[in-house]
Structure 1
Amino acid sequence: MGKRLVPFVGGLRMKFEDYQPYLSPALAKATDLIAISGKGCYLTDSKGDRYLDFVQGIAVNALGHCHPKVVEAIKTQAGKLITASFNVVNYPTTLELAKRLAEVTPGELNSVFFSNGGAEAIDGALKLAKAYTKRPAIIAFQGSFHGRSFGALSVTGSNAYYRKYYEPMVGSVYFTAYPSTDLCPKGFNEEQRTEYCLNELDRLFQNLVAPDQVAAIIMEPVQGEGGYVVPSKAFVQEIRERCDQYGILLIMDEIQSGYGRTGKMFASEHFDVVPDIMTVGKAIAGGLPMSAVISTQVIMAEWRSGMHGTTFGGNPICAAAALAVLDEFKQSCLLEHVNEEGAYLRNRLVRLQKKYSCISDVRGLGLMLAIEFSHPDGSPAGDLLEAVRAACLKNRLLTLSCGVHHNGMRFATPLNVTNDEIDQGIAIIESVLDQLYAQ
């Protein structure tokens, strides 16, 4: 692990700083690594150094880097047709993918609009909800992250910096509390957080926006950037009940939590709740850019021809890769593997928590897990997290942060990760914490 494999990969002697002037600084760069190749859980950079990748394109590579079946599907389709625009012609791969998605989605969610990325899918879902209900307002949650396009940013509540200089946002968006420890009164237990947040929603209906003016409530069944926060089952079911009571559509953003990440195909299944509209993305196409808005045929019928559109959505190569991903889910019993490895990773993280007092929480579902760092006085230790992440990078482990206070480390391993790969990553984190405590 971390061994330099070759002096220079492909003869390249590239340095990021030589190219940085040509790139907009708007895209935040977590590292200056130049990735040349990837296989499974590992990335190799232009210096020939190999990294254990617990980021995986931000939870995109469900099967790890360059899974052979995904690569073969891409090659085969690319040799036939790259694109002709799905709004002009139909592709066999994309038609088959729509059918296959309908087979794995819950309830009557069997009508699909393909897009290219998560934010684009969110914008589509918001438009669909308004088109169907003919209502103007949207309710979102504090701590949420849905993307950075204007529509998606308007329902994102995890970081004010994302919204800086962009006001006014899309109108008639209202935020309410999500039942995380960071967003509720200090000391509240799960039941109290649930009651508090439901009361906040009811006060919103009473004081700010009449429920018959609300087109949709949009929520992540497990918050992603907000800290991998898992709400209580009662909370999610009560949100569903309020939507039913007032004729409000429930949009579940499953872009990060869906596609097996939590041990079920979609995280909403943990709560026995079926949304009216669901967005998926990230892991859907094995690393290629693809997303989708999925709803019922009845709701989709109000999204009439020309009311939404795309040039690249439903690309046949992306669809071919997505079919290979679904094949692997079935053939490899991937969900069972996620639950087994998720339990193993959680156990390893709990052991870390017992050993290091700076780790104040372990939370999540399946392989959507996170640890939280806190100072001795209980305050968020974002500074410690960044020190840990920097040291992990030096030790050839790529990690990802999360949390409204930027003090969480989330684990986005491939869904087919092994015990050995988990052990390697935990050993690096443990070594780093030992070094930091020794200073």
Structure 2
Amino acid sequence: MQTNENDFEMKVNIKVVPPGPKGKKIVEEDTEYLATSSKSLPIVAKRGRGVYIQDVDENVYIDFAAGIGVNNMGHIHPYITEKVQEQLFKLWHFAGTDFYYQEQVDAAKAISSVTPGKFKKKVFFTNSGTESVEAAIKFAKVATRKQEFISFIGAFHGRSQGSLSMTASKGIQKKYLFPSMPGVEHVPFPNPYRNIFGIDGYEHPQELTNAALDFIEKYTLKMYMPPENVAAFVVEPIQGEGGYIVPPMDFHKKLRKLADDNNMLVVMDEVQAGFGRTGKFFASEHFGVEPQIITLAKAIANGLPMGAVVVDSKLDFPELGLHSNTYGGNLLASVASKATIEAMKKEGAVENAAKRGKHLRQRLEELKERYDVIGDVRGIGLMQAIDFVKDRRTKEPAVKLRNDVEYKGFQNGIILLGTGESAIRLIPPLIITDEQIDEGVECLEKAIKQSL
């Protein structure tokens, strides 16, 4: 029995084939009044609790998208909600880049305490991932007095003009938008499943790493981007929009050495992989590296708009006014961020992600055994993906099948998102249980069967 208008039974329950009549009406109004963006599924959310979402037609879904990796502690987390409500009646905004307040300092302390690296750090707050990358570009340029950057094929770093220049995951993201920021080159990312080197990266990971780094040394840096011009590599520890590509475990450490040897920095984009998603607070920890610059957003405040750049204090801007914004470090977002970190520690969310990630991986591997259309299962922790293929031997992407599974999953009660050309990402909140994972995988399997 419902005791609150925001309560609902937390299990998958499809009462009417979605989108239902109320949902369709809102989708039509959205199409009329909102500019075209990147909508994927016609789910019209009404309320959420934990790992579940209820739509306007009273359907209940299990959320394996988590607001694109944002709601790591689930929807309407009680502790985070309590702390934000307390702040709500004190003060909302006071321009933390121009003035001072304790809440922003507390958030910066909390974030610095969990980011990798024993060196002293400083934090610059933003409102999103793309803004974090824009700020990181400035930090790198000012610190090195160099202007060029190297990013990776398959990368996603945002859609504003500077960060867009680093992005190379989908052509549509750059269509009609030339020119973006000059001085950026893309090099091959060591993708173990599909790569230009013809190497089976799962069987020969070191060989793949060496091939990727040799390409950078022998061609990129030697022939057309001299290190004297390059400020930094900009790289994701695990590629997100590029398909949830996990590089060989020695790659990032060797990339950092290459950067150090050439007086270059490494900007590690942890926007999607950070905040416990992979079973460690930051994905870069799996690879044994301590980035000089880390970009953050998404799960940093569990749903309130916020991003940040964490830098080695030696790279701080040398004078006032080189960079700023209006809303960065907003009071509500700062409180939410600190509360998110506290809740994650208190409830063992990172450890849970590691444990539940193993269970999720096992269930996905079982699906791969049963369905030849799944060519690859990959990921770390609760950052997993399945890649659909027409033929396992050729690895030809099955794009339409992936899209069908995503939509059928929605109709069967699981919220999924595509990634890369033919993969689906599975990124539920870190508070998920094994039983809820099983519930979600059952919905996913129904969708696969209906799509074949």
Which of 289, 293, 296 is the matching residue for 2:312?
296
Pair 1:372 & 2:378 matched? no
Which of 164, 167, 184 is the matching residue for 2:196?
184
**Counterparts in 2 of 1:267-286, with a 5 A limit?**
267-286=283-302
CA displacement, residues 171-214 of structure 1 (integer Å, 9 cap, x when unaligned)? 11011110013332334332332122111111100111101211
What SS does the corresponding residue of 2:303 show, helix, strand or coil? coil
CA distance in 1, matches of 2:361, 2:299: 21
CA distance in 1, matches of 2:306, 2:158: 14
CA displacement, residues 402-439 of structure 1 (integer Å, 9 cap, x when unaligned)? 11xx21011110011111111111001112223334xx
What SS does the corresponding residue of 2:324 show, helix, strand or coil? coil
> In the alignment, is the contact (CA less than 8 A) between 1:144 and 1:224 conserved in 2?
yes
Pair 1:29 & 2:45 matched? no
CA distance in 2, matches of 1:51, 1:106: 35
**Counterparts in 2 of 1:7-406, with a 5 A limit?**
14-25=25-36, 27-107=37-117, 108=119, 110-180=121-191, 181-189=193-201, 190-202=205-217, 203-302=219-318, 304-376=319-391, 377-403=394-420, 406=421
Once the 2 structures are TM-superposed, how far is the Cα of residue 322 of structure 1 from its aligned partner?
0.9
Which of 419, 425, 431 is the matching residue for 2:440?
425
> In the alignment, is the contact (CA less than 8 A) between 2:128 and 2:305 conserved in 1?
yes
TM-score by length of 1: 0.94
CA distance in 2, matches of 1:419, 1:201: 42
CA distance in 2, matches of 1:157, 1:435: 32
Once the 2 structures are TM-superposed, how far is the Cα of residue 14 of structure 1 from its aligned partner?
4.8
Report the residue type matching 1:101 in the other structure: I
Once the 2 structures are TM-superposed, how far is the Cα of residue 87 of structure 1 from its aligned partner?
2.4
Once the 2 structures are TM-superposed, how far is the Cα of residue 301 of structure 1 from its aligned partner?
4.2
Report what 1:411 is aligned to: 426
Once the 2 structures are TM-superposed, how far is the Cα of residue 85 of structure 1 from its aligned partner?
0.9
CA distance in 2, matches of 1:18, 1:168: 33
Report the residue type matching 2:29 in the other structure: D
CA displacement, residues 36-91 of structure 1 (integer Å, 9 cap, x when unaligned)? 11111111111111111111110000111111111111111111001011123222
CA distance in 2, matches of 1:408, 1:73: 37
CA displacement, residues 312-362 of structure 1 (integer Å, 9 cap, x when unaligned)? 000010111111111112111222111110001001011111111111111
- Structure 1 unaligned regions, length at least 5: none
Once the 2 structures are TM-superposed, how far is the Cα of residue 12 of structure 1 from its aligned partner?
9.7
Once the 2 structures are TM-superposed, how far is the Cα of residue 34 of structure 1 from its aligned partner?
2.0
Once the 2 structures are TM-superposed, how far is the Cα of residue 296 of structure 1 from its aligned partner?
1.3
Once the 2 structures are TM-superposed, how far is the Cα of residue 269 of structure 1 from its aligned partner?
0.8
Report what 2:6 is aligned to: none
The structure-2 alpha-carbon separation of the partners of 1:149 and 1:16, relative to structure 1 and needing over 3 Å to count, comes to: same
The structure-2 alpha-carbon separation of the partners of 1:423 and 1:170, relative to structure 1 and needing over 3 Å to count, comes to: same
Once the 2 structures are TM-superposed, how far is the Cα of residue 293 of structure 1 from its aligned partner?
0.7
Aligned residues: 429
The structure-2 alpha-carbon separation of the partners of 1:155 and 1:109, relative to structure 1 and needing over 3 Å to count, comes to: farther
What SS does the corresponding residue of 1:144 show, helix, strand or coil? coil
The structure-2 alpha-carbon separation of the partners of 1:272 and 1:317, relative to structure 1 and needing over 3 Å to count, comes to: same
TM-score by length of 2: 0.92
> In the alignment, is the contact (CA less than 8 A) between 1:14 and 1:46 conserved in 2?
no
- Structure 2 unaligned regions, length at least 5: 1-11
What SS does the corresponding residue of 1:233 show, helix, strand or coil? coil
> In the alignment, is the contact (CA less than 8 A) between 2:271 and 2:298 conserved in 1?
yes
CA distance in 1, matches of 2:237, 2:194: 17
CA distance in 2, matches of 1:156, 1:436: 31
Once the 2 structures are TM-superposed, how far is the Cα of residue 131 of structure 1 from its aligned partner?
0.5
- Cα RMSD of the aligned pairs, angstroms, is 1.7
CA displacement, residues 266-307 of structure 1 (integer Å, 9 cap, x when unaligned)? 1111111111100111000011110101101111143x2111
The structure-2 alpha-carbon separation of the partners of 1:90 and 1:4, relative to structure 1 and needing over 3 Å to count, comes to: farther
